[in-house]
Structure 1
Amino acid sequence: MKVLITGGAGFIGSTIASACLDQGIEPVIVDDFSTGRREFTQGRVCYEGDICDGPLIDRIFAEHPDIEATVCCAAKIVVPESVAEPLYYYTENVAKGLALLGHLLRNGCHRVLFSSSAAIYESGLGITECAPLNPLSPYARTKAVFENALEDITGGSALRAISLRYFNPIGADPKMRSGLQVMKPTHALGVMIDKFHAGQPYPVTGTDWETRDGTGIRDYVHVWDLARAHTAALRAFDTIVPVSGDTYRVINLGSGTGTTVLELIKAFENVTGQPMPTQLTGRRPGDTAGAYPDITLADTLLDWRPELSVEQGIADSLAWYTQRETILRGADE
C-alpha cells in the first residue's frame, strides 16, 4: 500500500510516515517546509511544494500512480497566530485544502484521511462524535469549515473521507526519528519541561473547576498512538466508508479519561523523580474546565485504543528534548 502524506515533514505527519514504514505502508511526502523539517524526511520519498500546486500533485501521481489514499496533515496550527492572522489561516487551511481535493479527484485518488482537531467541540467531558461544535478560534474554525466541506464534497463526488479528531499530542517517535520541532512550545507539557529545566515554578491557573481535583482537565495522547490510529484507519478505510454507503465518517481519538493539571504534574514528577514547583493562580479570562473525548467509536471501527501512558509521553518528550538540537540541524534558527 502507498499513501500520500501532506505535511509529512511536520511533527504529526512525520510520525505517521514512520508508523506507515514500520507497517509496510510506503509514504510519499509533500511539504513546503514552512514549519516541517527536512531531517524528518531523510530516506523517504519527498516532494517540496505547496498542496495547492496542481502541476506538482499531478507529477506526484504520474510518478506514483499506485497511491491509494491521502493523509492530510498540512495545516497551520498556532491559535494566537490564527487570531492575529485569520485570513492567512483560512487561506492555508481551507482554500489550499480545497484546491488539493480537486487535484486528488482529478488524479483518481478518492480516499482522504483528514487529521482534524477536537478543538472544534464545545467543552465537555466524554465528548462523542455527535456533540455540538463550537470552535473558539480561527484555527479551530478552519478545521470545522474544512470538515463541513469534506462532508459536502463526499456527498456529491467520488471522494470518501474520514476525519480523526484529537486534542493534544505529546511524546515523540519512540525511535527518536522525529518529535516536536518547535523550540519554544506553548502547550502545557512543553511549558512544563521548559520551566523544569529553568528551575521555575509551573503556573496552575484555577483550582476551583468542577473536575476531579479542581484543576483544569485536558486530553493528552501519545503521538505514536495517534500514528497507529491513522494507519488503522488506512487499513480499514473501505470498511468504514464503503463505496456504496456513508461517504464521510468522524472518529474521536484520545485517552478517554483526560488528565487534570495536578495529575499531569504528578506524572511529570514520577518520570523525573524530582518535585515540580508550582504557582497557584486564579482562572484566566476565557478559560474553561476543559474537555476530553469519548473514544468508543475508535475502539469499534479501528480496534484502536491508546497503549502508551501519559508518563510514557512525558518520558519520550523529555528524551526528545535532550536530543532535539543534535537531530535538528540549525535548530536555533
Structure 2
Amino acid sequence: MEAPTRILVTGAGGFVGRRLCATLATSFPDATLVPLRADITDPDAVAAEIRAATPDSCIHLAGIAAVPAARQDPRRAFAVNLDGTLNLARALLDHAPRCRLIHAGSADCYGASFRTGLPLDESAPLAPLNTYAASKAAADLALGAMAAESGLRVLRLRPFNHVGPGQSEAFALGSFAAQLRRIAAGEAPAVLRVGNLDAERDFLHIADVTRAYALALARFDDLPDATILNLASGTPRRLHDMVEAMIATLGLPVAIELDPARLRPSDIPRATGNADRAATLLGWQPTHSLQDIISAVLQ
C-alpha cells in the first residue's frame, strides 16, 4: 500500500494514545502525526478539523474507556463513544473519503458470549453487559453499516485487556499497581483492596496492542473494508494470580482485602479471545511475557 503521510489520531493524549504515537513515529517515520483537538461530540468542530487536516489515515482511540465512568453517566458514554464515532466517520466521508480509519473497539462487547468459557473469535455475537460495552458495540456496528452503505474505509479492532505504565486507577490492574506503589512508598497501610479476584481475563502488554494498530495501518489496503480483528493472547489469567505476581515482584508483605465497592454488577468468570485472524492477516501475535506485563503495570 501507499505509505501514510498524514495520520490523524483521536485520543492521542490518553493512556494508549501516548504509546501509539511513539509506535507510529517509529513505524512511519516520514508521516505527520496529527492529534485531533476538537471535542469529538461537536460534529461541526470535528468536520472543520478533518477538512483542515486532510488525513489519509486515522486511528480512533478517543472515548469513555472506564466501565464505572460509563455506568455513572450513560448519556455521556453514548455521546462520546457512539455519537463521537459517528461524527468522526461522517466527517471523513465528507472531507477525506479515501482516509483509512482504524477503530479501537473493545472485546468487552462480547459480554454474555463469554459464558461459553471458550476463547471467542470475531464471529461471536456482541452481547454487552454494561453501558461501556453497549456504547462501544453500537459504534462498532454502526461503522460496519457505514462501510456497507456509504463506502467508509474502516478496520475494526477489538483488543482484550491491555495494560502498561500510566494506566488509570479506574482499571483493575492499574488500581492494584497504584495501591502497591503507595504501600511500597510507606504512604498507605499494607492492605490491598480488591474486587473479584477469581475472574480470568486475557491480558496484553500495551506495546503489543499499539504494534497491532501499526500493522493494521500498514496492511490496510490489502484487507476488506470493515474487517474485524481480535487482539488477544488466548491465555486466560486469574486476577488473583496477577495480584500475587505483582506483590512478589515488589517483594512486599501485603494483606489482600475484599472491597464490595469494587465488585461489578455483571461479572464474567472467564473472558479470553482467539486472535488467529490477526495472526493470519497481520502477522501479529503478542510477544511480551506475563512478567513483562506485570513489570510494565507496576511502572
Equivalent of 1:90, from 78, 81, 104?
A: 78
Displacement of 1:217: 0.3
Alignment of 1:4-19 (within 5 A): 4-19=8-23
Equivalent of 2:150, from 145, 150, 157?
A: 157
Displacement of 1:104: 0.5
Partner of 1:291: 271
Question: Matches of 1:297 and 1:84 in 2, distance apart?
Answer: 35
Question: Matches of 1:276 and 1:295 in 2, distance apart?
Answer: 36
Partner of 1:187: 171
Amino acid at match of 1:195: Q
Amino acid at match of 1:170: V
Partner of 1:200: 191
Residues 286, 51 of structure 1: CA spacing in aligned structure 2 closer, same or farther, 3 A cutoff?
Answer: closer
Q: Is 2:242–2:294's contact at 8 Å kept on the other side of the alignment?
A: no
Partner of 2:222: 239
Deviations 1:136-155 (A, max 9, x none): 11111111111111111100
Alignment of 1:198-237 (within 5 A): 198=188, 199-203=190-194, 205=196, 215-237=198-220
Question: Matches of 2:177 and 2:22 in 1, distance apart?
Answer: 25
Question: Matches of 2:71 and 2:53 in 1, distance apart?
Answer: 38
Deviations 1:7-57 (A, max 9, x none): 111111221111001222432101xxxxxxxxxxxxxxxxx3223545544
Question: Matches of 2:254 and 2:195 in 1, distance apart?
Answer: 12
Question: Matches of 2:52 and 2:192 in 1, distance apart?
Answer: 53
Show structure 1 runs of 5+ residues with no match: 31-47, 173-178, 207-214, 242-246, 320-333
Q: Is 1:169–1:223's contact at 8 Å kept on the other side of the alignment?
A: yes
Amino acid at match of 2:118: L
Question: Matches of 1:151 and 1:205 in 2, distance apart?
Answer: 34
Amino acid at match of 1:237: F
Structure holding more helix per residue: 2
Amino acid at match of 1:158: G
Question: Matches of 2:232 and 2:251 in 1, distance apart?
Answer: 26
Deviations 1:304-331 (A, max 9, x none): 1111123212212222xxxxxxxxxxxx
Aligned pair count reads: 279
Residues 201, 56 of structure 1: CA spacing in aligned structure 2 closer, same or farther, 3 A cutoff?
Answer: closer
Q: Is 2:109–2:137's contact at 8 Å kept on the other side of the alignment?
A: yes
Deviations 1:63-102 (A, max 9, x none): 544x221111111122223223212211111112212111
Residues 201, 98 of structure 1: CA spacing in aligned structure 2 closer, same or farther, 3 A cutoff?
Answer: closer
Residues 81, 52 of structure 1: CA spacing in aligned structure 2 closer, same or farther, 3 A cutoff?
Answer: closer
Equivalent of 1:259, from 220, 237, 243?
A: 237
Partner of 1:113: 102
Q: Is 1:154–1:161's contact at 8 Å kept on the other side of the alignment?
A: yes
Show structure 2 runs of 5+ residues with no match: none
Question: Matches of 1:161 and 1:276 in 2, distance apart?
Answer: 46
Question: Matches of 1:52 and 1:318 in 2, distance apart?
Answer: 34
Equivalent of 1:145, from 131, 138, 148?
A: 138
Give the % identical residues.
29
Partner of 1:212: none
Alignment of 1:20-31 (within 5 A): 20-23=24-27, 24=29, 25-30=31-36
Q: Is 2:194–2:258's contact at 8 Å kept on the other side of the alignment?
A: yes
Amino acid at match of 2:101: V
Amino acid at match of 2:162: P
Question: Matches of 1:12 and 1:146 in 2, distance apart?
Answer: 19
Equivalent of 2:63, from 57, 75, 88?
A: 75
Displacement of 1:61: 4.6
Residues 216, 310 of structure 1: CA spacing in aligned structure 2 closer, same or farther, 3 A cutoff?
Answer: same
Q: Is 2:191–2:257's contact at 8 Å kept on the other side of the alignment?
A: no
Question: Matches of 1:76 and 1:284 in 2, distance apart?
Answer: 17
Residues 10, 159 of structure 1: CA spacing in aligned structure 2 closer, same or farther, 3 A cutoff?
Answer: same
Deviations 1:238-284 (A, max 9, x none): 1112xxxxx21110112210211232124324432345533479987
Name whichever of 285-294 and 221-230 sits farther off.
Answer: 285-294
Structure 1 length-normalised TM: 0.76
- Aligned Cα RMSD in Å? 2.4
Name whichever of 229-238 and 304-313 sits farther off.
Answer: 304-313
SS of the residue aligned with 2:214?
Answer: helix
